[in-house]
């Protein structure tokens, strides 16, 4: 029996249990800086990577696009750090997350992200690895460098299928 997974629009409120949406409107504070030539949208997301002596790193992920239907058979989480993805090309991508259920991922939720906003997964939040859509897309990624076990993966007993992107 195929378990279909509907795609929903990314909103700050709906994503809040799993992380933060990175966009100007999500910033806590707006500051005019540099003599008024620049607007700083301050702290649109936080970076939580210090556990067990971790430090923040900035990387580029070049994501190959996934074609529909997309099979969600596993999830992962990073117990020691948050992980943020900001698209550097304005292309859509999917953020698939799940609540924790006794140490395993529960039913996933798939958010369609429009390429103008990033997402930051909270530390220890179940998510699917990067899911770029349409074309190869670079993402700026802020996550943790350091010791300890910062990757936990779990397979679903039966995969979910994303058949379309329109809900
Ligand atoms: N493995 C890795 O660095 N990437 C994943 O954590 C991911 O969420 O894409
Ligand atoms: Ni990850």
3-state secondary structure 72-118: EEEEEECCCCCEEEEECCCCCEEEEEECEECCEECCCEEEEECCCCE
* pLDDT range class, residue 2, cuts 50, 70, 90: confident
Residue 45: the pLDDT is: 94
Ligand nearest to the CA of 93: 1
Contact 61, 128 (CB under 8 A): no
Q: Is the pLDDT of residue 15 over 90?
A: yes
Residue 115: the pLDDT is: 92
Query: Is the pLDDT higher at 65 or at 29?
Result: 65
Q: What is the mean pLDDT of residues 127-132?
A: 98
Using CA positions, which residue lies closest to atom 1 of ligand 1?
129
Using CA positions, which residue lies closest to atom 3 of ligand 1?
129
Contact 144, 55 (CB under 8 A): yes
Residue 11: the pLDDT is: 96
Where do the domains of the chain lie? Answer: 3-162
* pLDDT range class, residue 52, cuts 50, 70, 90: very high
Strands 7-9 and 55-63: unpaired
CATH top-level class for 3-162?
mainly beta
Given ligand 1 and candidates 76, 85, 137, which is best to mutate, with the most ligand atoms within 8 Å of its CB? Answer: 76
Query: Is the pLDDT higher at 167 or at 163?
Result: 163
78 Cα–ligand 2 center, Å? 6
Q: CB of 129 closer than 6 A to ligand 1?
A: yes
Write the pLDDT tens digit of every residue in 57-111: 999 999 999 999 999 999 999 999 999 999 999 999 999 999 999 999 999 999 9
Residue 21: the pLDDT is: 96
Residue 167: the pLDDT is: 74
Dump the DSSP string for 147-165.
SS---EEEEEEEEEEE--S
């Amino acid at each position: 029996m195929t378990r279909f997974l509907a795609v929903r629009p990314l909103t700050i409120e709906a994503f809040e249990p799993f992380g933060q949406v990175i966009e100007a409107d999500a910033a806590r504070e707006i500051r005019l800086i540099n003599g008024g030539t620049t607007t700083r949208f301050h702290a649109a997301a936080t970076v939580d990577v210090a556990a067990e002596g971790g430090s923040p790193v900035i990387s580029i992920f070049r994501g190959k696009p996934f074609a529909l239907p997309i099979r969600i058979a596993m999830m992962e989480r990073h117990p020691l750090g948050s992980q943020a993805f900001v698209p550097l090309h304005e292309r859509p991508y999917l953020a698939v997350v799940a609540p924790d259920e006794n140490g395993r991922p529960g039913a996933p939720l798939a958010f369609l992200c429009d390429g103008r906003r990033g997402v930051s997964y909270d530390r220890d939040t179940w998510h699917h690895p990067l899911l770029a859509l349409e074309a190869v897309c670079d993402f700026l990624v802020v996550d943790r460098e350091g010791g300890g076990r910062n990757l936990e993966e779990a397979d679903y007993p039966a995969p979910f299928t994303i058949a379309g992107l329109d809900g």
